[in-house]
Amino acid sequence: MGRLFGTDGVRGLANAELTVELAVRLAGAAAAVLAPRDAERRPVAVVGRDPRASGEMLEAAVTAGLTSAGVDVLSVGVLPTPAVAYLTADYGADIGVMISASHNPMPDNGIKIFAAGGHKLDDAVEDRIEAALHGDDADAPARPVGAGIGRVRTAPDALDRYLAHLAGAVQQPLTGVTVVVDCAHGAASQAGPAAYAAAGARVIAINAEPDGLNINDDCGSTHLAALQQAVREHGADLGLAHDGDADRCLAVDASGAVVDGDAIMAVLALGMHEAGELPQNTLVATVMSNLGLHIAMRNAGIEVRTVGVGDRYVLEELRRGGFGLGGEQSGHIVLPSHGTTGDGVLTGLRLMERVAATGLPLSKLAAVMTSLPQVLVNVPVGDKAAVAADPAVAEAVAAAERELGDTGRVLLRPSGTEQLVRVMVEAADDEQARAVAERLAGLVAAV
Q: Rounded to whole angstroms, how far apart are CA atoms 35 and 71?
A: 8
DSSP 3-state of 369? coil
Asked if 102 is an active-site residue, the reply is yes
Contact 400, 425 (CB under 8 A): yes
Amino acid at 15: N
Count CB atoms within 10 A of the CB of residue 227: 28
Contact 16, 108 (CB under 8 A): no
CA-CA distances (angstroms) from residue 432 to 75, 134, 403?
Answer: 51, 48, 10
Dihedral of CA 63/67/71/72: which sign? positive
Q: Rounded to whole angstroms, how far apart are CA atoms 384 and 366?
A: 36
Pairing of strands 374-380, 333-334: unpaired
DSSP 3-state of 404? helix
Contact 328, 72 (CB under 8 A): no
Q: Give counts: helices (H), strands (E), the chain.
A: 15, 19
Out of 102, 189, 221, 289, the active site residue is 102
Contact 246, 266 (CB under 8 A): no
DSSP state of 14: B
Pairing of strands 238-241, 250-253: antiparallel
Amino acid at 242: H
DSSP state of 281: G
Q: Which of 344, 112, 353, 98 is nearest to 242 (CA)?
A: 344
Q: Rounded to whole angstroms, how far apart are CA atoms 218 and 11?
A: 21
**Half-sphere exposure (CA, 13 Å, Cβ side) for 196?**
30
Q: Rounded to whole angstroms, how far apart are CA atoms 385 and 409?
A: 22
Q: Rounded to whole angstroms, how far apart are CA atoms 416 and 393?
A: 19
Q: Which of 319, 322, 291 is nearest to 304 (CA)?
A: 291
Catalytic residues: 102
